[in-house]
Amino acid sequence: MAGKGILAGLPWWVVWVVVPVILIVVFGGLIATAVGVLISLLFKVLIAAALIAGVIYLVRRFTGSGSSSSSKSDW
């Protein structure tokens, strides 16, 4: 309620333009850091998933269907 009382008498452009711009300027570094950490974490998760999938594929290919000595000679 107190927030609405403070912003009630101001023009719309102050509430919808100036206040968000001030918040972005003040907290912009924090927001950029948080977004960067999230993107970095997502990238690392995708790389880990691709590497694990590759290892599973290789293990199944070379040991799964043909466990005879002829498939081991493919190395």
Confidence band, pLDDT 50/70/90 cuts, at residue 5 = confident
Q: Which of 15-19, 61-65, 69-73 has the lowest mean pLDDT?
A: 69-73
Confidence band, pLDDT 50/70/90 cuts, at residue 8 = confident
Question: Comparing C-alpha atoms, which of 57, 62, 58 is closest to residue 73?
Answer: 62
What is the arithmetic mean of pLDDT over 26-37? Answer: 94
* Mean pLDDT for all residues in the chain: 87
Whole-prediction pTM: 0.56
pLDDT per residue over 11-31, tens digit each?
A: 999 999 999 999 999 999 999
Half-sphere exposure of 50 (CA within 13 A, CB side): 6
Distances (CA, A) of 31 to 17, 34, 39, 51, 56: 18, 5, 12, 30, 37
State residue 65's pLDDT score: 63
